[in-house]
Amino acid sequence: METAQLEALATSPAALAAAFVLGALWGSFANVCIYRWPPSPEHPHGQSVVAPGSRCGACGKPVRWYDNVPILAWLWLRGRCRDCGTQFSARYLLVEALTGLLFATVWWFAVDARAALEPLDLRVVRAAIGAAFAWTMVVVIFIDLDHMLILDRLTLPSVAGFYALGVVLPERTWTDGLIGAAVGLALVRVVADLFLLLRGKHGLGMGDGKLLAVVGALLGWKGPVVALFGGAAVAVVVVVPAMLVRGALGRGAGADGAADGEGGDGADGADADAPPPPVPWAERRLALWSLAVVAAAVAAVLLTPLPPWIAALALVALALADDFLGLTDGPEPADARAARGDEPAAAGVDEAHQADDDLAPGALPFGPFLAVTALFWWFAEPYVMFRLGL
């Protein structure tokens, strides 16, 4: 085919439709990963996403290949198992449709909108990278909503993978992703340490830090900054009304109910769990160490002729050492937020949807806000930079 024909095909509605279908197929796989990767009582390390094939969670019968068609199968079976009639969560449909829409949108932004800027092959590479990023964020969001967990098995390979993909793009240098990953880790570390030091509570977990490392590895240092502060802003906009609504309904007094002056708690069973006691000072002090390390890295970049990537490399290495060796791992457990005080009980973590309880103020996962904002930034960055004249 001629270049002009390929160009016309790539920017046609048919290409968008194909991107949607491909996204829905990947969304179907995302559902498997979201369901099988997290640890459960029977599978402490999660399950394989390859084998065995999909089966009904209630009756154990394998799903037939023609009932595995994304979106359509859910619709023609009206979300029920063909064998036993058990109702499946509408979330399977949601994840497939969402991933399909994201892939189509990514294609439009990368291939259609940049048609005047770049040759087709580079735009297609951009679309593929954007789709991989969107898929990863979808999996992160829904696992975090379900389990308050951001899995190392997802984030650590993604840091390496998206760093390598980012380097392919002509506007990125080999240090961008490295510095971005370090900024993502350091930002969360500093916020978490300050929160622990000042409030005596665990706020962010390093699972969030590794998520921002993924974002930075692909998008450079601006990605984690936008995701953290943008995500916090979106969280405030979402959480404050949710707390007000709960307050108006006379529920959810547990998390911040100190001001209510209610004498006997436990009248309402849902709020029976009291907030965890503050972390003792001796333990809080450990946060000073990692704050000192980050401060030293920043000072080294600002005050010495040392190239920034060396400090970035040191921070990334330190974070990995934290993880694998537990060297400086004082305040926060190495593995995401698993051992956090306000963590929902491990029992029944393989339930596909228990987000209702997680919406209690104080038990809201932050990862989805970070991931949504980071994804938004993937789309918005070229336009924002253009507007700012950068």
Q: Does 62 bind Zn ion (CB under 5 A)?
A: no
Q: Does 317 bind Zn ion (CB under 5 A)?
A: no
Closest separation in Å from C-beta 127 to Zn ion: 37
* Distance (Å, whole) CA 44 – CA 28: 23
CB nearer to Zn ion: give 48 or 87: 87
Q: Is the peptide bond before 275 cis (omega within 30 degrees of 0)?
A: no
Closest separation in Å from C-beta 58 to Zn ion: 5
Closest separation in Å from C-beta 54 to Zn ion: 11
Closest separation in Å from C-beta 179 to Zn ion: 50
* Distance (Å, whole) CA 165 – CA 158: 10
Q: How many residues does the chain have?
A: 390
Q: Does 14 bind Zn ion (CB under 5 A)?
A: no
Which one of 81-89, 138-146, 260-268, 333-341 is the stretch in contact with Zn ion (CB under 5 A)?
A: 81-89
CB nearer to Zn ion: give 82 or 114: 82
Closest separation in Å from C-beta 350 to Zn ion: 16
Which member of 8, 9, 17, 59 binds Zn ion (CB under 5 A)? Answer: 59
Q: Does 240 bind Zn ion (CB under 5 A)?
A: no
Q: Does 292 bind Zn ion (CB under 5 A)?
A: no
CB nearer to Zn ion: give 83 or 152: 83
Q: Does 279 bind Zn ion (CB under 5 A)?
A: no
Closest separation in Å from C-beta 145 to Zn ion: 24
Closest separation in Å from C-beta 142 to Zn ion: 22
Residues 6+ apart with CB under 8 A from 388: none
Q: Which two tokens stand for residue 279?
A: 């972390």
Spell out a b/e string for 292-325, using b for 16 or more CB atoms within 10 Å of the CB, else e. ebbeebeebbeeeeeebbebbbbbbebbbebbee
DSSP conformation letters of 139-188:
HHHHHHHHHS---HHHHHHHHHHHHHHHHHSTT--TTHHHHHHHHHHHHH
Which member of 15, 81, 192, 196 binds Zn ion (CB under 5 A)? Answer: 81
Q: Which two tokens stand for residue 27?
A: 């969304």
Residue whose C-alpha is closest to residue 313's, from 329, 297, 332, 328: 297
Q: Does 55 bind Zn ion (CB under 5 A)?
A: no
* Distance (Å, whole) CA 237 – CA 241: 7
Q: Does 83 bind Zn ion (CB under 5 A)?
A: yes
Q: Does 321 bind Zn ion (CB under 5 A)?
A: no
From the centroid of its chain, how far is CA 112? Answer: 27
Which one of 58-66, 242-250, 280-288, 382-390 is the stretch in contact with Zn ion (CB under 5 A)?
A: 58-66
* Distance (Å, whole) CA 161 – CA 360: 35
Residue whose C-alpha is closest to residue 109's, from 133, 141, 139: 133
Closest separation in Å from C-beta 353 to Zn ion: 17
Residue whose C-alpha is closest to residue 370's, from 141, 30, 149: 141
Q: Which two tokens stand for residue 152?
A: 């190392």
Q: Does 56 bind Zn ion (CB under 5 A)?
A: yes
Interactions with Zn ion, residue window 191-220 (CB under 5 A): none
**Residues found near Zn ion in the complex (CB under 5 A):** 56, 58-59, 81, 83-84, 86
